[in-house]
Amino acid sequence: MENQDFTRIAAHMLIVVGPSGTGKSTLLFHLLSQRASCVFSRSTTTRAPRGREKNGVEYDFVDVDTFKAKIDAGEFAEYASVFGNYYGTPHRMIRNNVEAGLDVVFDIDVQGARQLKTTYPGAWCLLIAPPSMEILEQRLRARATDAPDVIERRLNTARSELAQTDLFDFTIINDDLHTAQNLIVTLYDAMTLRAQR
């Protein structure tokens, strides 16, 4: 891809990072419900489908050898091994959506976001942050879905993510859901105006 292609595509990319318990998924679903011009990034993975997941819908499911061949061919904008399975974002998925007139929204961890920003430096990277670590801990404990050691691991991960301020272009502190919902839509609208230039 030529450099100007990377620049054009990056103008249609919103990378969203946020620790567990910040309400990131709620905000992203709100954005997608309000703006038909954006779509979630679809990853390629080596893990098996879960429940009613279908190939080509939630994920593109491949075996390990196929995934590694794609790595060698430079097909991924970012990839990582997570709990024994590979996950990656194909350049082709991004390009196809942008060429179809859509903006691609990524729900991704810091490692993947940093890789994407290296390849597509013009993409916008947004951090969804809690009002404080104390409130984040309260939210995680109130969910009652994780064991105490898992909660502690999530809190340590959150501290690490929140400290990487160089990565983020914008931050939304989710202390009031309605305000945060309005902010993420406003930010997306600003991104689309930039892409139209």
Question: Which amino acid type is present at position 141?
Answer: R
At residue 190, the pLDDT reads 93
Q: Which domains does the chain have, with CATH numbers?
A: 3-41+101-195 (3.40.50.300)
At residue 145, the pLDDT reads 81
- 48-56's contacts with Cβ under 8 Å and 24+ in sequence apart are none
3, 89, 98, 166 from 7: Cα distances, Å: 6, 18, 12, 20
- pTM score, whole prediction: 0.86
- 106, 116 contact by CB (below 8 A): yes
- Token pair, residue 179, equals 């305000």
Which of helix, strand or coil describes residue 145?
Answer: coil
* Main-chain dihedrals φ then ψ at residue 20, nearest 5 degrees: -55, 135
At residue 1, the pLDDT reads 47
At residue 181, the pLDDT reads 98
**Strand order across the beta sheet in which 43-45 lies:** 59-61, 43-45, 85-90, 76-82
**Taking each helix axis from N to C terminus, what angle separates 148-163 and 133-143, rounded to the nearest 10 degrees?**
150
At residue 115, the pLDDT reads 93
Question: Which amino acid type is present at position 7?
Answer: T
Per-residue pLDDT for the chain (197 aa), expressed as one digit of tens each? Answer: 445 577 889 989 999 999 989 999 899 999 999 999 999 999 999 999 988 889 988 899 999 999 999 999 999 999 988 778 999 999 999 999 999 999 999 988 898 999 999 999 999 999 999 999 999 999 998 987 888 888 898 899 899 889 998 999 999 999 999 999 999 999 999 998 887 76
